[in-house]
Amino acid sequence: MKLCPNFKTLEPSYLFADIAHKVSAYQAAHPDAPVIRLGIGDVTLPLAPTVVDALRKAAAEQGVKETFHGYGDEQGYGFLQSAIVDYYAQRGVTLAQNEVFISDGAKSDLGNILDIFSKDNTVLIPDPVYPVYVDTNRMDGRQILFADANEGNGFLPLPDPAVHADIIYLCSPNNPTGAAYDRAGLQAWVDYALEHHAVILYDAAYECFITDPALPRSIFELEGAKRCAIEFCSFSKMAGFTGTRCGWTAVPEALAGGEPRKMWLRRQTTKFNGVPYIVQRGAEAAFTDQGQREIHEALAYYQKNAAVLADTLTSLGIWYTGGKNSPYLWLKCPNGMESWAFFDFLLEKANLVGTPGAGFGKNGRNFFRLTAFGDQAKTAEAAERLKALLG
């Protein structure tokens, strides 16, 4: 037996596991400390009532012989694929039902999609970035190049014509920075990918937070994108499915003559038995008129949290991106502090938990991520603690 040597190139543990261990150690030493967590991007509101009703109905169906569902189509049930196709159509994007693959979340597919690509491909990833993009490629041993995202470009790097890449990761609104590409910026990446015969792996998990009509919510809104992009999306943030698990991946037939779509179907039928029927019925309900109303109430709740945090940072004169059109705020650590030092400072002096930017790449060393996914009262309290500590 030989183990994969590429795992030795990874950090010993995942970023959020490190944060959890540090917070647990602090709370063990200070059991009465009123810690408020603004770190991990997990939702805190319950599922929408319409979704819960659909889950209950589907669960009851599974208890009756005539309506019981066993193995489903690995690509997803047609009722959910159709709902997703209609969702795109509302923004003028046309997808065929067989171009939509239902998954257990964007994170899984962003790693699993690499099965259909050669390990000889060169990958281009922005820095800072969601760690999954980097780690999954390191596990496979691919060469990774980094696009320089920084304060100067608003953490929205544009392609360098002198750099060649075969696989490009983009996330907009971005995790961790909250920055979102406008149409011109995203079109530049599409044009680059077409010129270099590359594929863009586009993470749209936070598209539901975009309220500015000038910003694209899908890469397929851009000219030529179906010939160079695969899009990943999720119900986790849109409908609170972080613990329920459902998402989708759209692989256009126009991409590379349809071969990637066929290969992804073959991969999924071999390695994946599909998302449970009950979960897919719940996801379908999220697209009903009532489901959308309830979901947007929850999104508005988080958007209010983001506005509170944004106003606080503005009042303190702290530079940041995100907050508007995103649930994340990416702030510059005060007084030139490095992000892990700022993490310790906030935890010890204000009992606040955020995410050190260094965990997302070298360009995050002096930056810090806050999330708007918390309780409103606790978020307001966190804002007051920030003002008292940094004001």
- Look over the chain and give the mean of its residue pLDDT values, rounded to a whole number: 97
Residue 380's CB is within 10 A of a number of other CB atoms, namely: 16
- Report the percent of the chain where pLDDT is more than 90: 96
Per-residue pLDDT at 221: 98
217-229 CB burial, b ≥16 within 10 A, e <16: bbbbbbeebbebb
Burial class (CB in 10 A: 0-12, 13-18, 19+), 300: exposed
pLDDT digits (tens, 9 = 90+) for 105-147: 999 999 999 999 999 999 999 999 999 999 999 999 999 999 9
pLDDT digits (tens, 9 = 90+) for 62-103: 999 999 999 998 899 999 999 999 999 999 999 999 999 999
Per-residue pLDDT at 92: 96
CATH numbers and ranges of domains, the chain: 13-42+291-390 (3.90.1150.10), 49-287 (3.40.640.10)
Per-residue pLDDT at 226: 98
Residue 39's CB is within 10 A of a number of other CB atoms, namely: 23
Per-residue pLDDT at 187: 98
Where is average pLDDT lowest: 4-13, 47-56, 139-148, 216-225? 4-13
In 3D, which of 124, 131, 139, 127 has the Cα closest to residue 107? 131
pLDDT digits (tens, 9 = 90+) for 217-276: 999 999 999 999 999 999 999 999 999 999 999 999 999 999 999 999 999 999 999 999
Q: What is the mean pLDDT of residues 162-189?
A: 98
231 - beta bridge partners? Answer: 202, 250
262-293 CB burial, b ≥16 within 10 A, e <16: ebbbebbeeebebbbbbbbbbbbbbbbeebbe
